[in-house]
């Protein structure tokens, strides 16, 4: 059963915390996703086996958390991530999937003293810019809401004008990213959601030299096959090792 975090003036957040050695690994879900996904659960099993601190959670309006999905924005979900970071102690490594990769960058900007490393899985920063057609953007502005068929659910994917505006106001790939820790970016080249070339463009923006981009030629957006999950774990272990090395301090 999920634990519940309550803070003033915001919906409750459901989360699962595995205690263990630090840095704490925090998984950040994609858009309209929740903490029951294959990657989050696989990382939790790994963490328990390694005695590693790990946390997965649902953004407000998603999964078991309180709130209304269509009332939330990129910034409120960033703030949910910050609430989780502040809930644990010590250094943190963020693993961001799809939109979670955008939230990861925004959270690291707000907590530079806490975030030691990052792993992006099909990271999708700034997708409100490149992920919508001009017709989509006009409909959002005029009607305030956009529905699109989903490859992952029978229900359509809903985007609100509030979320889109929040994304446009918080783009990360318009300037250098002042993060100095280790970063691994995993990207499938058969990803229909995120153009694979964006991973390399994102890597170039980091101030850190400890950045590697891994392209999976036959990988899709989810990167949830057994071989993909093994690759994610290797990347995460690499980042943790670099965070723990004397040269990184």
Catalytic residue numbers? 98, 191, 221
Centroid of chain to Cα 143: 28
Phi, psi of 162 (to 5 degrees): -65, -45
Q: What are the residues whose beta carbons fall under 8 Å from the beta carbon of 105, sequence distance 6 or more?
A: 96, 118, 123, 125, 172, 177, 179
C-alpha span between 24 and 236 (Å, rounded): 12
Q: List the alpha helices (DSSP H) in the chain.
A: 38-50, 74-87, 99-110, 127-130, 134-143, 161-168, 197-205, 226-244
C-alpha span between 13 and 67 (Å, rounded): 9
Number of Cβ atoms within 10 Å of the Cβ of 216? 19
C-alpha span between 196 and 11 (Å, rounded): 35
């Amino acid at each position: 059963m999920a634990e519940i975090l309550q803070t003033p003036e915001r919906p409750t957040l459901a989360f699962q915390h595995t205690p263990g050695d630090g840095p704490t690994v925090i998984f950040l879900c994609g858009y309209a996703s929740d903490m029951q996904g294959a990657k989050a659960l696989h990382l939790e099993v790994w963490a328990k086996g390694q005695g590693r601190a790990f946390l997965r959670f649902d953004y407000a309006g998603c999964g078991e958390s309180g709130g209304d999905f269509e009332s939330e924005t990129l910034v409120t979900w960033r703030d949910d991530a910050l609430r989780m970071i502040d809930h644990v102690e010590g250094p943190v490594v963020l693993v961001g999937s799809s939109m979670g990769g955008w939230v990861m960058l925004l959270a690291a900007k707000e907590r530079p003293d806490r975030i030691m490393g990052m792993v992006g899985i099909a990271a999708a920063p700034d997708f409100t810019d490149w992920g919508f057609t001009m017709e989509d953007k006009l409909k959002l502005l005029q009607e305030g809401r956009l529905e699109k068929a989903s490859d992952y659910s029978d229900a359509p994917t809903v985007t609100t004008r509030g979320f889109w505006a929040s994304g446009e106001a918080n783009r990360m790939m318009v300037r250098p990213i002042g993060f100095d820790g280790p970063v691994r970016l995993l990207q499938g080249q058969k990803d229909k959601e995120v153009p694979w070339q964006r991973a390399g463009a994102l890597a170039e923006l980091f101030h850190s030299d400890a950045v590697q981009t891994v392209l999976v030629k036959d990988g899709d957006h989810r990167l949830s096959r057994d071989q993909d999950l093994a690759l994610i774990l290797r990347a995460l272990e690499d980042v943790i090792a670099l965070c723990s090395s004397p040269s990184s301090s």
